[in-house]
Structure 1
Amino acid sequence: MDMEDKPEHLPVLVHGILASPSDWTFAQAELKKQLGRNFVIYASSCNTFTKTFTGIDEAGKRLANEVMLVVKKRDHTLKDFLFSSFSCFLEQEGINCWAATNQFDHLGNTTSRCQREKTASISIRTSILEKLAAPIAPFLAGHTGSQLFLTDGKPNKPPLLLRMASDFDDGKFLSALGAFKCRVLYANVSYDHMVGWRTSSIRRETELFKPPRRSLDGYKHVVDMEYCPGVPSEGPHLPPKAAKAKEAARNAPCMQTTLEYHEIMEEEMMRGLQQFSWKKVDASFHSAFWPFFAHNNIHVKSE
């Protein structure tokens, strides 16, 4: 193949928890059709189904190694990443591994708890679930479960997701995130019972607004697009009271202590992730036939 015809772009598609590359079959075919020969569309396959339960850090390293092998074979110069829901956590671990050697272009998340900013537990407001979620999470989702609910590690050590919103000794996570030229969040404004709008779009409660009911021209379910510049900050840390709250949330959970702990962690991670600019795309499936499937609908899996 001539150098002029050699693909320069490597868009990498990464599925969510308990899923497989087949989730991307439709999107992969459409992207190949629309983007042309200069792009090689690659769907990750290293973390299928229960492999996502082995821990965000372990799954993220597998993803990093997988992409590195693909890059070595094809020698692409630009990498784009599109993550679905949970897989945005793997991206954060993965880009920490790639940061020193790779050039990034775009980072996109569908429902992107991308952050990574908050965890699934933060959008749970039912008291019985708040009491039970942290203790039973490891039994339901392995080591990944304790990481998602911020109870991993020693009480006096920052949980993994907090470290992912900053640069700590074990990884320059935030610097790696800043290596992308563009960061995009796709969030459901309603009917997403897996990941709330606030979590998906990295917004505080006070930053939410009444979403428009009408879609933007040319986009059936997109109701708003906003560019948010970075906000300078000292970055997140683990306050002493958070360490005590973390231990209580793990060993003797109750609604009040768990909620207080999550609110502290939410603000700390928010300050870290809002240091960079984000393009935020808000979607609404209120007019869809099955609006309650918004979490799945935002990621098109079939025609």
Structure 2
Amino acid sequence: MLLNCQNPFFKHLTPPSELITIYRDLWFLCKMASTAPLFHYSPRFIDHRITNSNNNNNLSSSSTSCSSSTSSFDNLRGNNWNINTFSGTKHQNLKAQAMSTTQGTSPRGNINVKDEPDHLLVLVHGIMGSPSDWTYFEADLKRRLGKRFLIYASSCNTYTKTFTGIDGAGKRLAEEVMEIVRNTESLKKISFLAHSLGGLFSRYAIAVLYMPNTSSDDSSVIAGSTNTSLKTSCYSNTGLIAGLEPSNFITLATPHLGVRGKKQLPFLLGLPFLEKIAAPLAPIFTGRTGSQLFLTDGQPDRPPLLLRMASDCKDGKFVSALGAFRCRLLYANVSYDHMVGWRTSSIRRETELIKPPLQSLDGYKHVVSVEYCPPVSSEGPHFPEEAAKAKQAAQNEPNNQNTVEYHETMEEEMIRGLQRLGWKKVDVSFHSAFWPFFAHNNINVKNEWLYNAGVGVVAHVADNIKQQENQQGSTYVAASL
């Protein structure tokens, strides 16, 4: 019986000639798939190509400011670091999980062809904070950065959990980040954006999550009462964080050098009796975190945690982890911040503080200056016997003279350790804002209605992240051609 092709039921059937063409094309594709190698993504290979591309281009200081080292330190890019051994099986498990994300047949190693996020941006709040502190910042970043970013506000250290110590909070943050990475297979890159104390939590967490590309001998260990010092000039941007490619490490008003006196903790107003009681009272109100911020934690012959975090030591590869990021940005309030002073948040010495300009940068209200500080070749931090004695005096007799002398010694050592990395330092001034005295909360727009003076900072952060993302993308394409 003949089929009536005019019938609506048959008019959509594919003619035999077209079927033959389709089958032929399918056979050809299958044949090609069986012989052509699949393209495989390797973060280490990408890093090598990006480095070579950067070395072959004369970029301006503004475009290279986020590089972990300048051309004079290119020969150090091949340096390798030991995988640090952390106490406790939980930290070892975290490192094993981070390593597993880059091995085997993980989907993370393939090109992301779907419209899925491939860049994790972790937002970390400060003391007594919560994820709600990032409500405005998170919404604006999502609007500006697009769907390729997975923006996550950390919730593991809310409120009084911030008093349990920088190390304790940092470990919890590392576990939280690893959980996100395990549950999101499309991720390839990672960035951190932290406010206030959250910056120190993040610095500890990335050391827990850090995985060097290869291992080598590293003698940069700060012994308890020895004069061991690091002879390395700077750190190369190698290694992974939680198995991902580190991109941006950004802090907003973070006390990188701890807190002390009117120059570091402005609300003490420089009054001697307040400075005398601040250090011994800090642990009562803020637990272990308080003693760590005042550099009086631990035994007198043991370096304080913040000093150890300015180098690679048995507690973690803190500087190597920071050096793995392509971009390190410090946002600091030059005035009116009654929680964190300008010096500590921008990692500067007293002599390096100059009068900032009053005029804001175009398009970024209250952002007044941007400075790139390249890596400085210097010995790393050390903790001699004299420092141990000064620490003991600051613990047992916390008068103004003992505390100031001890802190000045420790701050210089921390600066020497951290300046081996290149930093982009952004100064913020709310002197013309309606509520200038809320500078510490303005800088991250903690509340949209009270602290909206910081919207220019949000725009500046977003544009820096986009600029870094575009540079990485363009250099990768150029290296692939």
TM-score range, shorter chain: over 0.9
Q: Tell me the distance in 2 between the aligned counterparts of 1:205 and 1:171.
A: 29
Q: What residue is the counterpart of 1:285 in the other structure?
A: 430
Q: What residue is the counterpart of 1:31 in the other structure?
A: 141
TM-score, with normalisation over the residues of structure 2?
A: 0.61
User: Is it true that 1:21 corresponds to 2:127 in the alignment?
Assistant: no
2:260 aligned counterpart, secondary structure? helix
Q: Which runs of 4+ in 1 moved over 2 A?
A: none
User: Is it true that 1:265 corresponds to 2:410 in the alignment?
Assistant: yes
Corresponding letter in the other structure for 2:145: L
1:1-303 matched pairs, under 5 angstroms: 3-75=113-185, 76-100=187-211, 101-113=243-255, 116=256, 118-122=257-261, 123-124=264-265, 125-301=270-446, 302=448
Q: Tell me the distance in 2 between the aligned counterparts of 1:150 and 1:199.
A: 13
Corresponding letter in the other structure for 2:250: G
Corresponding letter in the other structure for 1:85: S
How far is 1:30 from its partner? 1.0
String of CA shifts for 1:50-109, please: whole Å, max 9, x gaps. Answer: 000111101000000000000111031100100001111101110001111442100001
1:104 aligned counterpart, secondary structure? strand
Question: Which piece of structure 1 moves more, 121-130 or 238-247?
Answer: 121-130
How far is 1:134 from its partner? 1.2
String of CA shifts for 1:179-199, please: whole Å, max 9, x gaps. Answer: 111000001111111111111
TM-score, with normalisation over the residues of structure 1?
A: 0.96
Corresponding letter in the other structure for 2:161: K
Question: Which piece of structure 1 moves more, 85-94 or 123-132?
Answer: 123-132
Q: Tell me the distance in 1 between the aligned counterparts of 2:150 and 2:275.
A: 43
String of CA shifts for 1:131-157, please: whole Å, max 9, x gaps. Answer: 111111110101111111111111111
String of CA shifts for 1:102-121, please: whole Å, max 9, x gaps. Answer: 421000011122xx2x1122
Identity %: 63
Q: Tell me the distance in 2 between the aligned counterparts of 1:70 and 1:182.
A: 22
How far is 1:232 from its partner? 1.1
Q: Tell me the distance in 2 between the aligned counterparts of 1:219 and 1:197.
A: 19
Corresponding letter in the other structure for 1:120: V
How far is 1:277 from its partner? 0.5
Q: Tell me the distance in 1 between the aligned counterparts of 2:276 and 2:368.
A: 35
How far is 1:36 from its partner? 1.2
Q: Tell me the distance in 1 between the aligned counterparts of 2:271 and 2:372.
A: 33
Q: Where in structure 1 are there 5+ consecutive unaligned residues?
A: none
2:287 aligned counterpart, secondary structure? helix
How far is 1:126 from its partner? 2.4
Judge conservation of contact 2:310–2:417 (CA < 8 Å) in 1. yes
Whichever of the two has the greater Rg, that structure is 2
Judge conservation of contact 2:174–2:209 (CA < 8 Å) in 1. yes
